[in-house]
A and B are shown apart, each in its own frame.
Chain A
Amino acid sequence: MDKMNFVDTNIFLEIILDDKKSEQCKSFLTKVKNNNIKALTTDFIIYSCLLQIQHKIKSQEKMKQFLSFINELKGLKIIRPSLNEMYKACIISKKYNLDFDDSLVVAAMIDNNCKYLVSLDGHFDKISIIKRIEPN
């Protein structure tokens, strides 16, 4: 994984949940933290994680901890999708029958010349213009 990788929401949530693949996700994000891997994500993805922390445990302290964690991922660039990318996401959503949030990931990847999506979500496997990979 030496090229630019786009990080999907579930990679962060897998660690928060401490589920079966959290160790692999942790190992991947440790490389991002140490700037050994360059990665991209969107602010929408960060908001989604924060919303889930708020919804599930209602703790502003934990939300702040999550933001401190994100802030320390030196190799991670957080992008704010443009109106143009949101417009493209609507087109992708219809074309591939994807939810808007997944379509926004694809649109942001295309506009940022990012081919690899690090995700545990198999929905993306039908999108031939990107390549989904799991952290290992």
Chain B
Amino acid sequence: MVLKVEFPKDFENKFRELAMKKFGYAKGAIKKASEEAMKEWIKLEENNIPKLENSIESIRGMIKHLNGKISSVELQHEASKLWIK
């Protein structure tokens, strides 16, 4: 299948340059780079996560027992320490 798409010149040149740098200055480099980019995009966009009724309310107060003991900014910085553990 052939896909025809048009991009701004600078964007296209950058894509060509990086595709050839990675896959070699030969025929097929653009195809390989396009395939890699599209596979990544499909993986990011496609999911089977179920929908929730009123999703914002469903997360509100999940850790309410900590309200008044720690702020959201403190929790954020504490999370960085959890990464290290």
Taking Cβ atoms with an 8 Å cutoff, the residues of A that contact B are: 8-19, 22, 26, 29-30, 33, 47-49, 51-53, 55-57, 62, 65-69, 71-72, 78, 99-101, 120-121
Contact = CB atoms under 8 A, between A and B. Distances in A.
Contact of A17 (B50, B75, B82): B75
A12 B63 CA distance: 12
Nearest to A44: B83
Contacts of A19: 67, 71-72
Given A52-B78, A101-B80, A22 B52 contact: no
Interface in B32-75: 44, 47, 49-52, 55-56, 58-64, 66-67, 70-73, 75
A96 to B, nearest CB: 16
22 contacts: A8-B76, A9-B72, A10-B72, A10-B73, A13-B72, A15-B56, A16-B60, A17-B64, A17-B66, A26-B60, A48-B79, A48-B80, A52-B63, A52-B78, A53-B62, A68-B52, A69-B58, A71-B47, A72-B55, A101-B77, A120-B71, A121-B76
Given A68-B50, A69-B55, A9 B79 contact: yes
Contacts of A14: 72
A18 B82 contact: no
Contact of A22 (B60, B77, B83): B60
B64 to A, nearest CB: 5
A55 B82 contact: yes
Given A22-B60, A72-B55, A99 B77 contact: yes
